[in-house]
Structure 1
Amino acid sequence: MKKSDYNFIWEVRNGKKIAFNSMTCALAEIEDDFTEILDSIENIRYEKLDENRKELVDNMKDNGFLVDRDFNESKLLKFRHLTGKFNQSGLGLTIAPTLNCNFKCVYCYETPKQNKMSLENQENLIKFVESYINTIEHLSITWYGGEPLLYKDIIYNLSEKLIKMCETNNVTYSAYIITNGYLVDEDVVDNFKKYKITGAQLTVDGPEEIHNKRRILKSGNKDNFQKVFNSIKMLEENGINVGVRVNVDKSNISYVQELIDIFKENNMIKSNIHFGQVTPYTESCKSISHSCYDTEEFSDVLMELQDKLNSNGFKAMGYPYYPGIKANYCCSDQINSFVIDPEGYMYKCWNEVGEISKSIGNINNLENQKISNDNLEYMTWTPFESEECSECKLLPVCMGGCPYFRVNNIQSQCERWKFNLEEILKYTYDSYLDDSERFEKAFADIQ
């Protein structure tokens, strides 16, 4: 055997050390025998080890710290990447029934359009899915916008037909929605259940005064915080898995604790709160670039926010707070994944929805379409063409960063692990150690 090329080792408190492997995302507290084996593994004869050493070697291999001597990890990584990119067992569609919105958020990257998906386009969307239905095992839908709930009838109409098609063809179905939450009511919740929309993302950008300044209703009503907050409560109480996104920049960072307190006061300690980095993706949101954190800055900010959540009783230890293995980066570099706008135009990336020059085709004219250059750009770009990425020990948890930036030659977009991996893993270790010590103390008190 030999040691993995993707091992990290750091000293932590009390003279202990931890080891992390980015191919498996395994994290272990280690002692000297671990490092001794790593340093001498190519000269060790396994059959001559005692049982304790054999068990340690076995565990190290199971968790990726050791690999077979002739095993090529970089080829496995590339195989994972290509398999994820070109896997055709499922079809993932992000559908925008409209690009219109009832909000005018200060950082929005979209250019709103007063449109909605016509019946003809809905029918052609169903035909588009039918062309895949005999070759896939799963259909995944994300309802998007604009604000998708402005045209609930379109969501319900398409959902009914898609679900029936999947049931007829023994294809599993799942659905998610990204909504500002303002239009959620009991009827909407009932229809979420009926049409298998099991998850939702709603955004709250701070306590009432701050949220209402950033997420503004077009109607002129300056108070939407309470309505959105009540929508989160209603959805959670009805078994909908809600992701509460808090978009963070320099103008609202100081109000996060106040928002966390509001969730605690309302007994919503189980809410899944995560923090989004406000990024000026398009020309529509360039005006707020001065208040945005870059990725290195945000990596530090996110650690502080994670600690706020944990110290207040919220769970914030898994992804995105702890690194996860990536095959391909996101839906934009996956072959059977498309974003579809109200006019039937298809895109690879959410950031480009409505920008027709970036479309890769249209569901209304599939027979006469050629393979577009934009589709080729997303599907052929790979981090393995970059020497910097290929040699990076973080490639398994980064995969080259956001394809939108790479394809459009905007900037290199390494994941935040590049800037805070050691700190986040030490924090994770300390948190679990503290939990263990608290458990041991509580158990001792009981005895």
Structure 2
Amino acid sequence: MTRATLSPPLGRLLTTSLSNRRLHLILLPTEKCNFRCTYCYEDFAVGRMPASVVESVKRLIDRRLDELRSLDVSWFGGEPLLALPVVEEVSAHIARRAAARPDLSCTAEMTTNGYTLDAATAERLASLGVGRYQISLDGPQEMHDRSRVRADGKGSFARIWKNLLDIRESAVQVNVTLRIHLTAANLVSMPDFLGEIRETFLRDSRFSVRLKPVEHLGGPNDQHIGIVPEEDRSRVLAELTALVSTDESGDPKGFGSLPSQAEVCYASLPDSLVIRADGSVGKCTVALTDPANTIGRLQPDGTLSIDNTRLRPWLRGWFTQDREAVVCPYQGMPRHTQPPLLQITSR
């Protein structure tokens, strides 16, 4: 079988990522969560980011900011809003520093379960530069509350839906992607649910939809989660896309489909780093418990200590011209020791 190789545009993306002009930080202000979703792969072993690591994150940004043309921050967890003061402190620091750099492209987004994202919180974070959110829904309330379960065993749909409606009724300038999870069990309810999503939210240009089949990602309940069979996914996605996509008149707006398989994973980009709540540095938010994911540590002064032998496997697709290793470097990750590929200088 012929291996798919990289196209010239992807080669140009690598060149951009290897420069010191762009930095993508995925920050985990806490790795605790108020949900216990049935398909979750996280172990919640690490708690809230301590003040010492928060200071180190700010110093890292200070060290890098003058040379940057683009700073992109993604808040992840756990549930990042459980550590809202950390998000606010770092975001406010970035906003203050970026104010003196009108030429700097600075964006911030958050993956949140939406349970505590009311309109007032969204407004506060928007003032600090957090402008995009991804919030997951698993279908109508009956289906959603079976899988996106709170830590106390209760359902979460009603509160999330209310928050979304409050954001819709507010004037807050944010973009909300509704990530609709697809499983074998909830497919039958999806046509009606997506119709409701379309009429309730997609007439507002701030809202969009992303359809995402649930995967087996190593969680303790993997064997009990019925995923959409691989051979059926293209058909299922095409049929469901038609229910929420923009019509010829342009109303409603805002459908975002499943990314193509040619999409580059952030974990394969040299300028993208995960800063965990304990200050360790990784590449992937799915492989949090895999030792191969820990490539270094953020130091108290804001410098990065990176082990190049651990970094090399994440970047291998660019140098072997293997498209699959760029789309998902974690799949097929070589486990033997590699010699250093790049000399990463701590700054």
TM-score range, shorter chain: 0.7 to 0.9
**Count of residue pairs brought into register by the alignment:** 322
| Equivalent residues in 2 for 1:4-403, closer than 5 Å | 76-77=8-9, 79-113=11-45, 115-170=47-102, 171-222=104-155, 224-236=156-168, 237=170, 238-264=172-198, 266=200, 268-270=202-204, 271-284=207-220, 286-288=222-224, 291-310=226-245, 314-315=252-253, 320=257, 329-353=264-288, 355=290, 358-364=293-299, 369-382=305-318, 384-386=320-322, 401-403=327-329
Using the size of structure 1 for normalisation, the TM-score is 0.65
What letter is aligned with 1:147?
A: E
Distance 1:364 1:296, change over 3 A: farther
Counterpart CA distance in 2 for 1:273 and 1:267 is 9
What letter is aligned with 1:407?
A: M
Counterpart CA distance in 1 for 2:49 and 2:37 is 23
Deviation (angstroms), 1:352: 2.1
Distance 1:85 1:406, change over 3 A: farther
Counterpart CA distance in 1 for 2:80 and 2:240 is 30
Using the size of structure 2 for normalisation, the TM-score is 0.82
Between 1:295-304 and 1:173-182, the stretch displaced more is 295-304
Counterpart CA distance in 1 for 2:84 and 2:279 is 18
Residue by residue over 1:253-296, the C-alpha shift from the partner in whole angstroms, topping out at 9 and shown as x without a partner, is: 1111221233355465444111112111224453345x123544
- Tell me the SS of whatever aligns to 2:43: coil
- Tell me the SS of whatever aligns to 2:42: coil
Structure 1: which 5+ runs fail to align? Answer: 1-72, 390-397, 410-447
Counterpart contact for 2:198–2:244, Cα < 8 Å:
no
- Tell me the SS of whatever aligns to 2:239: helix
Deviation (angstroms), 1:367: 6.0
- Tell me the SS of whatever aligns to 1:279: coil
Counterpart CA distance in 2 for 1:227 and 1:75 is 45
Between 1:113-122 and 1:206-215, the stretch displaced more is 113-122
Counterpart CA distance in 2 for 1:264 and 1:293 is 22
What letter is aligned with 1:251?
A: A
What letter is aligned with 1:211?
A: H
Deviation (angstroms), 1:234: 2.5
**Corresponding residue number in structure 2 for 1:52:** none
Distance 1:323 1:214, change over 3 A: closer
Deviation (angstroms), 1:385: 4.1
Percent pairwise identity: 20
Counterpart CA distance in 1 for 2:55 and 2:184 is 45
Deviation (angstroms), 1:406: 3.6
Residue by residue over 1:293-342, the C-alpha shift from the partner in whole angstroms, topping out at 9 and shown as x without a partner, is: 3544322211111122238865577x63685975xx12111111111111
Distance 1:323 1:151, change over 3 A: closer
Counterpart CA distance in 2 for 1:229 and 1:376 is 43
What letter is aligned with 1:101?
A: C
Counterpart contact for 1:206–1:258, Cα < 8 Å:
no
Deviation (angstroms), 1:115: 0.8
Counterpart CA distance in 1 for 2:22 and 2:293 is 24
Structure 2: which 5+ runs fail to align? Answer: 336-347
What letter is aligned with 1:202?
A: I
Counterpart contact for 1:89–1:138, Cα < 8 Å:
yes
What letter is aligned with 2:310?
A: D
Higher helix share: 1
- Tell me the SS of whatever aligns to 1:132: helix
Counterpart contact for 1:245–1:273, Cα < 8 Å:
yes
What letter is aligned with 1:338?
A: L
Counterpart CA distance in 2 for 1:315 and 1:295 is 29
Counterpart contact for 1:249–1:278, Cα < 8 Å:
yes
Counterpart CA distance in 2 for 1:161 and 1:199 is 18
Distance 1:256 1:139, change over 3 A: same
What letter is aligned with 1:256?
A: M
Distance 1:196 1:164, change over 3 A: same
Residue by residue over 1:354-401, the C-alpha shift from the partner in whole angstroms, topping out at 9 and shown as x without a partner, is: 545521111126768353323111123238545xx6xxxxxxxx8853
CA root-mean-square deviation? 2.9
Larger radius of gyration: 1
